[in-house]
Amino acid sequence: MATIVAEATGQAILHEEHEQSFLRKYVFATDHKVIAIQFLFTTLFFLMIGGLLAVLMRYQIAWPAKTLPGGGILPETMVASGYILPEFYNSLVTMHGSIMVFFAIMPMLVGVFANYLIPLQIGARDMAFPRLNMLSFWLMVPAGILTLASFFVIGGAAAAGWTLYAPLSARPDLSGVHLGQQIWLVSLVLIGLSSILGSVNYITTTINMRAPGMTWFRLPLTVWALFITAILGLLAMPVLSAAGIMLLFDQTIGTTFFLPAGGGQPLLWQHLFWFFGHPEVYILILPAMGFTSEIIASGSRKPIFGYKAMVWAIVAIAFLGFIVWGHHMFQSGMNPTLGLSFTISTLLIAVPSAIKTFNWMGTMWRGNLRLHTPMLFAIGFVAMFAIGGLSGIFMASTPVDIYIHDTYFIVAHIHYVLFGGSLFALFGAIYYWYPKMFGRMMNETLGKIHFVLTLVFFNLVFFPMHGLGMKGMMRRIYDPTGYQHLQGIQDTNQLISISAFCLYASGFLFAFNFFWSLRKGRKAEANPWDATTLEWQTPSPPKHGNWKEIPVVYHGPHEFSHPDVADKDWLAQNERPDVTSPAGAH
Amino acid sequence: MAQAATATAGRAPERGLDVYNQKVGMWVFLCSEVMFFAGLIGSYVVLRFGASDSWAQPGEVLNVPITAVNTFVLICSSVTMVKAFAAAEAGDQKGIKLYLVLTFLLGATFLGVQVFEYTHLIQHGEWQGSHGFTPRAGLYGSTFFTMTGFHGFHVLLGVICLGWASLQAFRGRWGSDHYHGIEVLGLYWHFVDLVWIILFTIVYLI
């Protein structure tokens, strides 16, 4: 019993055999798996760049009086006689945030994993619109090139912070950046379009291309999370595009949308930006929650605790995410009554978030834990996300927020959810789905060392920042030693910086493991984790077209340790129930 | 998941919405477009309430009668678009060609009038004592040109697609078994039309 795999209706695939040119297969590819891998390499590159910018910033904060070792290779406009210039520091802050959000984490969560997993997990051969998918990747590439190039134009890269508050961002004479800011906006519009086209694809595919039997409530939680995320992106991204275009017009053709001198409203920018920005926060965390759910169920050998609650929690978080943007603006002169309503809606998000956290713990409770690297990162995600979520509650309440606003407390919080949250889950997801993508396992020992180093140094970097924030250290400052009230904290800043360098270095351990395993890793079988979802029921890596025959789905997504299955502790979604035994009708 | 698994017995295929992908995709894309224009229109409302004294009276700067005619032209193009779709469904080759070309021409006319309006405003428009009404003319100019300009850009994209669809019509591509392209293009076209009616109302009439 329970041995038959994927015998179903459907026709033998036609295009499996035919040969494609190199250009069609690897460059202008329409296969969702190839596009996902293109996104993966691109985003890992940007992750490295974004991290490097952070390392430079940390050096400046810890040792403002020392010259930057090796700074001589950078042009005079960035590092003059060995010292990082304040203007360049502003660009570092801005571009670190922008690159990490728009070119590393977001496309890695969505571009890589939505592309790779949605068709495979719902049992489709490809996306609904493969060519649109290709366009979505090839819009990101010029956006990325523009972003990197903006460092080298006259005036340097954008320097108004990744939130681009007007009028600082709208008037070149205030920020000192002319072309860099405009390039930033153009690349923002490109990446926005890329993201919208991607969302159209993911939504249509999920709605319309599920395999027979793949009902909504048999979708793996990853697909649920990615589907809801796509809706968020679809509705939030165009608002940012509209705002970005208005800002670009303010700079180029002389409109005055955000310029008080011409009657415009700087606050309008904040509303538009955060109307996008807060859903964006959930775009950055929901897919991570999806991966974590998947990995924790598989690593605990138990069905996910409260599957439907998990689904509705995702939906609730997404909905609430659209009505809380004002909590970024408590300090902007908002009517306190309005502020109160934003406080309440923000606090409400703690409820679905807590549902998810407790369900992950419930899943692990008395499970038969397999502590492989993906599982370690998933558990790390839950722990770090809990810290980040709890510090978020501080910010949600206006009186506390007014005190910690624009301090390192905020920096600590954002990194606990974005690094400790999203990136931990992403590392886990890469270790977990790597064998499916490349047909080889990543090295387990190196992976575990990478996990321990990341966990330790991550916390050494970001936990002390809570304290720095409480002591009043402001975000984005160039030289903390210049302030009377920050005299006593420079030791902590140096500890943070040294830990940050180690954290960055441990990333290279991951990179080494990643590239070494491409050639030398142990060959992966189709289902190395004994997992239940459809992507594991096809070879690693899957061929063009994914399936010989479209699978038929009979079970929910996480049927681990099923009492009716005797010979193994998992039941694939497409395993045909034995007609003579009641196993199929449980 | 026990309850979901119970429903397994049959193996009714999941058929999604029973609507073909392109149509679903266009609807989804239009949701995104709604948010894009909502961003622009929302900003317009906020800015205008914030600075109502720096707004011109209806008809003071903009030529309402010409634009009203132009609005009518665009609405007519939606009608011919529906006719083109009906002809395609019915397999009426003559009707497909006629109505697609008509829609194309009406759309192009709309654009032509808009270009005329823009050049006239930029060269001869008068507002608050300045000669020539441009995007630099305060919030009124900023919002006017940005909103109508982005709408015009959408019309332009639509007209290009209509030109392509018309060419295809003369090659006999469309028919009762092959009308999805026209239907999807029609959805987009009606959306652009609808946005214009809102823009015309808030920018020109009130």
Tens digits of residue pLDDT in A75-116: 988 999 899 999 999 999 999 999 999 999 999 999 999 999
Q: Exposed (0-12), middle (13-18) or buried (19+): which is B51, by Cβ within 10 Å?
A: middle
The shortest C-alpha distance from B14 to chain A (Å) reads: 5
Cα dihedral A419, A140, A234, B17, rounded to 10, equals: -110
Q: Spell A138-153 as b/e; 16+ CB within 10 A means b.
A: ebbeebbebbbebbeb
Question: What is the per-residue pLDDT for B127?
Answer: 84
The shortest C-alpha distance from A431 to chain B (Å) reads: 27
Question: By CA distance, what is B41's nearest residue in A?
Answer: A242
Q: Does B149 touch chain A (CB under 8 A)?
A: no
Q: Decide if B154 is inside a domain.
A: yes
More confident residue, A351 or A585: A351
Question: What is the per-residue pLDDT for A19?
Answer: 65
Residues near A85 by beta carbon (within 8 Å), at least 6 away in sequence: A77, A78, A79
Rounded Cα gap, residues A412 and A292, in angstroms: 22
For residue A484, what are its two tokens? 């009377």
Residue A254: strand pairing partners: none
Question: What is the per-residue pLDDT for A26?
Answer: 82
Contacts of A246 in chain B (CB under 8 A): 40, 43, 142, 146
> SS3 letters for A418-484?
HHHHHHHHHHHHHHHHHHHHHCECCCHHHHHHHHHHHHHHHHHHHHHHHHHHHCCCECCCCCHHHCH
Rounded Cα gap, residues B162 and B139, in angstroms: 34
Question: What is the per-residue pLDDT for B143?
Answer: 95
Contacts of B36 in chain A (CB under 8 A): 238-239, 241-242
Residue A187, pLDDT above cutoff 50? yes
Q: Decide if B7 is inside a domain.
A: no
Domain with B94 in it: 20-205
Q: How many CB atoms lie within 10 A of CB A314?
A: 26
Q: Of A187-196, A570-579, B3-12, B99-108, which range is least confident?
A: B3-12
Query: Which of the 8 DSSP states describes residue A575?
Result: B
- pLDDT truncated to tens, each residue of chain B (206 aa)? 333 443 343 444 456 788 899 999 999 999 999 999 999 999 999 999 988 888 988 888 999 999 999 999 999 999 999 999 999 999 999 999 999 999 999 999 999 999 999 999 999 988 887 888 999 888 999 999 999 999 999 999 999 999 999 999 999 899 888 999 999 999 999 999 999 999 999 999 98
Residues near A565 by beta carbon (within 8 Å), at least 6 away in sequence: A1, A2, A571, A583
Look-up of token digits 């703690």: A350
Residue A297, pLDDT above cutoff 80? yes
Question: What is the per-residue pLDDT for B2?
Answer: 38
Q: Decide if B127 is inside a domain.
A: yes
Question: What is the per-residue pLDDT for A21?
Answer: 80
Question: What is the per-residue pLDDT for A430?
Answer: 97
CB contact under 8 A, B14 and A210: yes
Question: What is the per-residue pLDDT for A5?
Answer: 33
Residue A215, pLDDT above cutoff 80? yes
Contacts of B43 in chain A (CB under 8 A): 242-243, 246, 257, 268, 272
The shortest C-alpha distance from B70 to chain A (Å) reads: 25
CB contact under 8 A, B24 and A255: no
Question: What is the per-residue pLDDT for B14?
Answer: 58
Q: Decide if B166 is inside a domain.
A: yes
CB contact under 8 A, B21 and A128: yes
Q: Decide if B151 is inside a domain.
A: yes
Confidence band, pLDDT 50/70/90 cuts, at residue A3: very low
Of B4, B32, B35, nearest to A218 by CB-CB distance is: B4
Q: Exposed (0-12), middle (13-18) or buried (19+): which is A579, by Cβ within 10 Å?
A: exposed
Confidence band, pLDDT 50/70/90 cuts, at residue A172: confident
- Segment A192-212 shows an average pLDDT of 95
Q: Does A129 touch chain B (CB under 8 A)?
A: yes
The shortest C-alpha distance from A586 to chain B (Å) reads: 6
% chain A with pLDDT above 90: 82
How many structural domains does chain B have? 1
Residue A16, pLDDT above cutoff 60? no
Compute the C-alpha angle A434/A23/A435, nearest 5°.
Answer: 10
Which residue type sits at B42? G
pLDDT in tens, A542-557: 998 899 889 999 999 9
We report the CATH number of the domain holding residue B83 as 1.20.120.80
Q: Of A356-360, A412-416, A566-570, which range is least confident?
A: A566-570
Q: Does B13 touch chain A (CB under 8 A)?
A: yes
Q: Does B122 touch chain A (CB under 8 A)?
A: no
Rounded Cα gap, residues A417 and A388, in angstroms: 5
Asked if A374 and A352 touch (Cβ cutoff 8 Å), the reply is: no
Question: What is the per-residue pLDDT for A31?
Answer: 94
The 3-state DSSP class for residue A338 equals helix
Q: End-to-end distance of chain B based on CA atoms, in angstroms?
A: 56
Interface mutation vs chain B, best among A208, A209, A221, most B CBs within 10 Å: A208
Q: Is the dihedral of CA A455, A458, A461, A464 positive or negative?
A: negative
Question: By CA distance, what is A234's nearest residue in B?
Answer: B32
Q: Does A584 touch chain B (CB under 8 A)?
A: yes
Residues near B166 by beta carbon (within 8 Å), at least 6 away in sequence: B97, B100, B101, B104
Rounded Cα gap, residues A109 and A98, in angstroms: 16
Which residue type sits at B14? E
The shortest C-alpha distance from B169 to chain A (Å) reads: 24
- Segment A443-453 shows an average pLDDT of 97
Question: What is the per-residue pLDDT for A481?
Answer: 93
Q: Decide if B74 is inside a domain.
A: yes
Of A132, A242, A275, nearest to B40 by CB-CB distance is: A242
Q: Name the average pLDDT for chain A.
A: 92
pLDDT in tens, A452-476: 999 999 999 999 999 999 999 999 9
Q: Of A2-6, A230-234, A356-360, B180-184, which range is least confident?
A: A2-6
Question: By CA distance, what is A306's nearest residue in B?
Answer: B1
Asked if A462 and A414 touch (Cβ cutoff 8 Å), the reply is: no
Question: What is the per-residue pLDDT for A25?
Answer: 79
Q: Does B1 touch chain A (CB under 8 A)?
A: yes
Q: What is the ipTM of this complex?
A: 0.91
Compute the C-alpha angle A381/A383/A385, nearest 5°.
Answer: 60
pLDDT in tens, A505-522: 999 999 999 999 999 999
Question: What is the per-residue pLDDT for B7?
Answer: 39
Contacts of A253 in chain B (CB under 8 A): 135-136
Residues near A402 by beta carbon (within 8 Å), at least 6 away in sequence: A330, A331
CA A333 to chain CA mean position, Å:
31
Question: What is the per-residue pLDDT for A97?
Answer: 96
Rounded Cα gap, residues B78 and B88, in angstroms: 15
Question: What is the per-residue pLDDT for A585?
Answer: 43
- Asked whether the bond before A266 is cis by omega within 30 degrees of 0, the reply is no
- Segment A230-239 shows an average pLDDT of 96
Q: Does B129 touch chain A (CB under 8 A)?
A: no
The shortest C-alpha distance from B10 to chain A (Å) reads: 9
Q: Decide if B198 is inside a domain.
A: yes
CB contact under 8 A, B29 and A245: no
Q: Decide if B6 is inside a domain.
A: no
pLDDT in tens, A122-161: 999 999 999 999 999 999 999 999 999 999 999 999 999 9
Asked if A176 and A87 touch (Cβ cutoff 8 Å), the reply is: yes
Question: By CA distance, what is A205's nearest residue in B?
Answer: B21
Asked if A104 and A50 touch (Cβ cutoff 8 Å), the reply is: yes
